[in-house]
Structure 1
């Protein structure tokens, strides 16, 4: 690789990681800012996915993206993904509504253990003792962080955080099967996911009677609540669109280790900003829990990376042996032909 190519690749990695971290942090803090003043989680989510659909169409008009034509068969095939996505976004947002921004990562810390568990249950993927150890560290971090909280206040948030962890773990599994429905096209999957999720959120708004608060929301202009809500949906809608791009870009140009390290770094920054912006209390238990969760997650990523490198080495050795055996077989055939002619 030339120096110019190496510089470009490093620049792209730095840009993609920074882009992902900034968009993810913006989404969390703006959502928290809006929910603190306007407790309408399903309305907020509906506006976000609708904004994403609108921006996708604008990108298509200007020739940046090419959107698919909706097909009934694909819509039906993607229903499991839409259900998991709607539940996951709902659990995430309601969890954020009830817990501090700095505690949000602790409440949703069990994504990794549930992912390993569901991969074993549904995908029959075997798990090593080292990976189980990493999951144990994450679980200890979760319980250390939770034990430092007053359960009478944050019990609802913790419950929805656990539900969010389960739905996120299932989402990672369901998305693999969903890609086959759209023939591996990730952009088609993003478009279907957003437009169908927008339809799915509408009955939830009426089910939880959030529409009853709209008149009060926009009549109470003196407190600036309506302005907060409008700014919030515009900002989070725009960044919700960007975070889809940022996630795919980071996974594409970086390694899983880099992706996980950036996520860990984002967790640390999120905790510090939660304290500075919202005045979140940083107890010893909360900080210790976050440290253990990040350590266990990074340990898991390192183990998976080492296993991947070991598998690649074994495959290279196997290929060399196969080529060597093929070469020996050809030499034996040549010798046999010569002996027959003699």
Structure 2
């Protein structure tokens, strides 16, 4: 088999792997939340299962886990906080909205990412990028306005909060990688391990422990667990396993595919998610919802296309511009590099 065929096969595998794991996570979570309203307990069990599986991979020599260090834990606190907020907002949003509307409720990730990149990383965006963000915003408002009488306002609010936390998460990850010296799997382990500790007090804070205990008390007549208990138990095992896989799937897809491929696969996943939501949960697909989803996915694809073209053009201008591009990817300051470019251009004259 040739190199191109191998690469093509790996791209197809990684994209399919990511799409399947992400869809299973969304729909199994929705299935569980429809039966049992225990969002923080569900999340806690998911990260616990992920930590156990990471330790098993370490036991069999597949991965090497880091030794927990106090200094690194302190350095990763911003990431853990954003991760806890993001997972909580995602899950509560999914609890209150249809699976097919979930795409719309969390649609503002891209615009917030551009805004926060400008505020925290001083990354200015072109008019083309801002135009694509505007398309996404229009899609969000089209989708929300068409559902204002039937959809949960709480779900939309948590969807917007989820968009904000996800956008911040992408920026915080860049800084957090420096704490673990660029080791992605170390970051995955620290993230899951510390999140497991952080979710535990939230279960007691929101009183979920009482409902959890009631859930696993056998029926006095049949001496069997309730349907809700069985659903919850099966759900945490499935989502815990696929939560572990999605860490690997996301990393693998980004590693072997281009940003354009990654975004197109995400758009495809959004379409499949909408259709499956209609088929599995009998979600209502209104014209406004479908139109909003189309605009959101179209705007996201346009953004990725423009961003990819700008990146290629930026990298080909000069070796100094390539250095600037690399620093942009890391979220570092650009001032020194621009000074160097100006000095070299003056010398060449």
Assess same fold via TM > 0.5. Answer: yes
Q: For residue 273 of structure 1, what is the aligned residue in structure 2?
A: 276
Separation in 2, partners of 1:223, 1:278: 21
Instruction: Give the one of 255, 264, 276 matched to 1:261.
Output: 264
Q: For residue 113 of structure 1, what is the aligned residue in structure 2?
A: 111
Tell me the alpha carbon deviations over residues 221-247 of structure 1, each in whole angstroms, 9 at most, x when there is no partner: 464111100000000000000000000
Separation in 2, partners of 1:23, 1:131: 29
Tell me the alpha carbon deviations over residues 165-186 of structure 1, each in whole angstroms, 9 at most, x when there is no partner: 0000000000000000000000
1:7 offset after TM fit, Å? 0.6
CA shift in 2, pair 1:302/1:35, >3 Å: same
Separation in 2, partners of 1:152, 1:263: 27
Separation in 1, partners of 2:18, 2:155: 25
Separation in 2, partners of 1:139, 1:283: 19
Instruction: Give the one of 156, 171, 174 matched to 1:173.
Output: 171
Residues 68-217 of structure 1 correspond to what in structure 2 (within 5 A)?
68-151=66-149, 153-217=151-215
Tell me the alpha carbon deviations over residues 304-327 of structure 1, each in whole angstroms, 9 at most, x when there is no partner: 0110121133127999xx9xx9xx
Residues 212-251 of structure 1 correspond to what in structure 2 (within 5 A)?
212-219=210-217, 221=224, 223-251=226-254
1:148 offset after TM fit, Å? 1.2
Q: Which has the higher helix share?
A: 1
Query: Given the two structures, how large is their TM-score scaled by the length of structure 1?
Result: 0.91
1:65 offset after TM fit, Å? 0.3
Q: For residue 335 of structure 1, what is the aligned residue in structure 2?
A: none
Q: Is the 8 A contact 2:315 2:321 kept in 1?
A: no
Task: Extract unaligned runs of 5+ from structure 1.
Answer: 330-342
Task: Classify the secondary structure of the residue corresponding to 2:318.
Answer: helix
Query: Given the two structures, how large is their TM-score scaled by the length of structure 2?
Result: 0.89
Q: For residue 338 of structure 2, what is the aligned residue in structure 1?
A: none
Instruction: Give the one of 13, 19, 22 matched to 1:24.
Output: 22
Separation in 1, partners of 2:69, 2:321: 44
Q: For residue 50 of structure 2, what is the aligned residue in structure 1?
A: 52
Separation in 1, partners of 2:57, 2:213: 33
Separation in 2, partners of 1:308, 1:120: 17
Bigger mean CA offset, 118-127 vs 218-227: 218-227
Tell me the alpha carbon deviations over residues 77-132 of structure 1, each in whole angstroms, 9 at most, x when there is no partner: 00000000000000000000000000001000000000000000000001111111
CA shift in 2, pair 1:91/1:151, >3 Å: farther
Separation in 2, partners of 1:76, 1:213: 33
Q: Which has the larger radius of gyration?
A: 1
Separation in 2, partners of 1:173, 1:180: 12
Q: For residue 313 of structure 2, what is the aligned residue in structure 1?
A: 310
Task: Extract unaligned runs of 5+ from structure 2.
Answer: 323-340
Task: Classify the secondary structure of the residue corresponding to 1:76.
Answer: helix
Task: Classify the secondary structure of the residue corresponding to 2:216.
Answer: helix
Please tell me the root mean square deviation across aligned C-alpha atoms, in Å: 1.8
